[in-house]
């Protein structure tokens, strides 16, 4: 299948590209490079042995999207492109809605114009908001608590309306939990510019001594060790989830479905730090500090629907997540010297 990946040079997009090419698909990357680098396409060529075309463009450029869909005879789109920093979305909601919601509208217009109706959308567990119960299953009420989350929820609602208007669409909304880890090659991974907001990249930088210590936000939560609990999922498992979603869309007759992609296992900040220290052989100095505003104490996925509908379960362990993150950290540090 010819598959367009918007946001294809980004963290999750690049890993999914590697998985799709390995499964025999032809992948075209489309990215404006606002949070990734064109060199990712070269690294993907090294990994896969295939040249992956990269179209540098914005998803809000409907004409360029339409042209790309036609030129490359695209049959399905996986829509990763989006902005994802919660703090920035609070400061500048207009930019977030323009990019995430406006960008998706532009993509849907281009897809409609050329008659492509198969779409996988990068949604997030953040659409569930404050837990009414755990684990979150897909029937859990939605209620995002920040502009980033609301932009994802708006897109889900738009896609739901679209699927009801035209049952010819095949749409999968994948609600990712906390993606971490890297490709085994060490050539691609999560490499945020500046100081990372998220836990795993921050821990990796402390272990490599690029940052002095980790600040643990909150040690008085109602969790087994008092620190926040999340469902960390290996990015290569997530990548395989996209492949499974595409296969299931081609077989299914439902115009839209929503699926959690997580492991179903809650891991605390201290557990992750401990696992990372073991995997890397480095110490991760840390201090306990106040809770981060807006953080939830704990959440994790009910993964029964992913197994039943996609035939997908996450296979990789927390150790695999930490080892691959460390391997990428060390490899990219050498590459940048």
Instruction: Determine if the peptide bond prior to 135 is cis (ω within 30°).
Output: yes
Contacts of 192 (CB under 8 A, 6+ apart): 198, 201
Contact 300, 177 (CB under 8 A): yes
Integer CA distances (angstroms), 46 to 38, 49, 132, 234, 251, in order? 14, 6, 46, 21, 32
**Pairing state between β 256-261 and 2-6:** unpaired
* H-state helical runs in 117-268: 147-165, 199-207, 235-251
The nearest distance, CB 248 to ligand UD1, in angstroms, is: 24
- Residue 99 as a binder of ligand NAD (CB under 6 A): the answer is yes
- Residue 2 as a binder of ligand UD1 (CB under 6 A): the answer is no
Residue 133 annotated to the active site: no
- Residue 215 as a binder of ligand UD1 (CB under 6 A): the answer is yes
List phi, psi (to 5°) of 281.
70, 10
Q: Which is nearer to ligand NAD, 82 or 266 (CB)?
A: 82
Which of the residues 96, 148, 221, 300 is marked catalytic?
148
- Residue 80 as a binder of ligand NAD (CB under 6 A): the answer is yes
d(CA 15, CA 271): 25
Per-residue x/- track, 114-153, ligand UD1 (CB under 6 A) = ----------x-x---------------------xx----
Closest CA to 299 of 205, 238, 231, 227: 231
- Residue 104 as a binder of ligand NAD (CB under 6 A): the answer is no
- Residue 202 as a binder of ligand NAD (CB under 6 A): the answer is no
**Angle CA(157)–CA(125)–CA(216) in degrees, nearest 5?**
145
- Residue 285 as a binder of ligand UD1 (CB under 6 A): the answer is no
d(CA 152, CA 327): 32
- Residue 292 as a binder of ligand UD1 (CB under 6 A): the answer is yes
- Residue 226 as a binder of ligand UD1 (CB under 6 A): the answer is no
Stretch that binds ligand UD1, among 23-31, 93-101, 181-189, 289-297 (CB under 6 A): 289-297
| Chain residues that interact with ligand UD1, rule: CB under 6 A | 86, 124, 126, 148-149, 178, 197-199, 202, 214-218, 228, 230, 269, 292, 294-295
- Active centre residues (catalytic): 148
- Residue ranges that bind ligand NAD, judged by CB under 6 A: 6-7, 9-13, 31-36, 58-60, 80-84, 99, 103, 122, 124, 176, 178-179
């Amino acid at each position: 299948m010819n598959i367009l990946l918007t946001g294809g040079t980004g963290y999750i997009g690049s890993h999914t590209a590697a998985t799709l090419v390995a499964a025999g698909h032809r992948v075209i990357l489309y990215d404006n490079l606002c949070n990734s680098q064109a060199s990712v396409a070269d690294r993907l060529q090294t990994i896969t042995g295939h040249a992956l075309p990269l179209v540098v463009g914005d998803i809000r450029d409907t004409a360029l999207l339409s042209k790309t869909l036609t030129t490359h005879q695209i049959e399905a789109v996986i829509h990763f492109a989006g902005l994802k920093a919660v703090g920035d979305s609070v400061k500048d909601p207009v930019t977030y809605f323009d990019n995430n919601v406006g960008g998706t509208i532009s993509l849907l217009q281009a897809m409609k114009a050329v008659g492509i109706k198969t779409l996988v959308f990068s949604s997030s567990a953040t659409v569930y908001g404050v837990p009414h119960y755990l684990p979150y299953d897909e029937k859990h009420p939605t209620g995002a608590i920040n502009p980033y989350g609301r932009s994802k929820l708006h897109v889900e609602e738009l896609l739901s309306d679209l699927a009801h208007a035209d049952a010819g669409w095949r749409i999968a909304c994948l609600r990712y939990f906390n993606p971490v880890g890297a490709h085994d090659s060490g050539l691609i991974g999560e490499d945020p510019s500046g100081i990372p907001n998220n836990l795993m990249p921050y821990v990796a930088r402390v272990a490599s001594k690029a940052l002095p210590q980790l600040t643990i936000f909150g040690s008085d939560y109602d969790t087994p060790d008092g620190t926040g609990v999340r469902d960390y999922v290996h990015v290569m498992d997530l990548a395989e989830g996209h492949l499974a979603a595409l296969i299931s869309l081609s077989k299914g007759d439902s115009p839209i479905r929503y699926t959690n992609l997580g492991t179903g296992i809650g891991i605390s900040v201290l557990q992750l730090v401990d696992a990372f220290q073991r995997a890397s052989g480095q110490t991760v100095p840390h201090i306990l500090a106040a809770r981060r505003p807006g953080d939830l104490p704990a959440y994790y996925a009910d993964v029964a629907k992913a197994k039943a509908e996609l035939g997908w379960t996450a296979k990789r362990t927390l150790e695999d997540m930490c080892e691959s993150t460390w391997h990428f950290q060390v490899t990219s540090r050498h590459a940048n010297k």
